[in-house]
Amino acid sequence: MAVLSGFDFSQPVWLWLALAALILAVEIVTSTGWLLWPSVSAMVTGGISALDPPFGLGGQVVVFALLTIGSSLMARRFLPQTAPKEPDLNDQTARLMGQSGTVVDDFSAGQGRVLVGGAEWPASSLDDQSLVKGARVSVEAVVDGAQLKVRGIQS
């Protein structure tokens, strides 16, 4: 073990590259996006340690820490956020909001059926509007996962 420890401190570039590979492997498994920056920082620190700087392993740890903090803050500031701004692709009811459709049958007591996005949905009109077959409507809300609240569109 003493031989291995002596090798690590005499050739710190391998220590930093191994750390970079380990952090990158964890990043690949978890896919968080945040462990990429410490991995890159460890690679850069390994490159710096290959130049045999005057500071020892302690100084290299400080360089690694500063690079990790700096690169993480820069990534947060300048890289675009990846959170989706649209509803989930698989959540069909959320994607119906704001869509327009056509009344399939005359509404009775504010209740009826509409054709929106190629599918027929049960619907109720806002303010109990009387909507007739063929009238254009706009989806204003989705209630209980399958009931649409619609408003008539003036032609």
The full set of domain ranges for the chain reads 2-78, 92-152
Q: For 32-91, how does the pLDDT look when each residue is reduced to its tens digit (9 = 90+)?
A: 888 999 999 999 999 998 888 888 888 999 999 999 999 999 988 887 766 556 656 666
92-152: CATH, from 3.20.20.70, 2.40.50.140, 3.40.50.300, 3.50.50.60 = 2.40.50.140
With contact defined as beta carbons under 8 Å apart, do 72 and 40 qualify? no
C-alpha torsion sign, points 4, 10, 14, 20: positive
Contacts of 124 (CB under 8 A, 6+ apart): 110, 111, 112, 143, 147, 148, 149, 150
Q: What is the largest CA-CA distance in the chain?
A: 87
CA distance 67 to 38: 8
